[in-house]
Amino acid sequence: MVLSYRLLRHERFHAQIEAFRQRFPKDENALLTALVKSRDDPTGPGAEPLTGIKTLALQGLLYRLHVGSGRGQRYIYLVQNKLEIVLGIYVSLELKSKFKYDLPAIESIATEIMEDWIGKRYDKFKLA
């Protein structure tokens, strides 16, 4: 079932995407594919719920996707089903084999982005 949510980029996530593009120019299409996949079917095949989240308000909302093939990176996003939006949270600049899930840091970024959304600071977001 294709849901086709709106994918929104917070300015902080946008900066991560730009850094990813500079560091992995050959993987840009793979990242774009992951972004589209998170928008079109955010909890579908390949999307893995992020476990171990301690912040109650974020539990069950954070997902991860693999970017690219083989070595790849990770893309983490937040799904708001009621609003039909996906908020990009984090894209790793480390290869999958070297990436360590720093859950407190990811939760901190997700909380900041959610607070901007709840606080209606929409100028910090762009439709992806």
CB hemisphere CA count around 50 (13 angstroms):
29
Cβ atoms of residues 87 and 12 within 8 Å:
no
In a domain, 24, yes or no: yes
Write the CATH number for 103.
3.30.2310.20
In a domain, 125, yes or no: no
In a domain, 18, yes or no: yes
In a domain, 37, yes or no: yes
Give pLDDT tens digits for 28-80: 999 999 999 999 999 999 899 999 999 999 999 999 998 976 568 889 999 99
Which residues lie closer than 8 Å to 20 by C-beta, 6 or more apart? 27, 28, 31, 73, 91, 93
Domain that holds residue 75: 6-119
**What's this model's pTM, rounded to 2 decimal places?**
0.90
Let me know how long the chain is: 128
Cβ atoms of residues 5 and 86 within 8 Å:
yes
> What's the pLDDT at 97?
67
pLDDT band at 128 (very low <50, low <70, confident <90, very high): confident
Q: Which of residues 20 and 3 earns the better pLDDT score?
A: 20
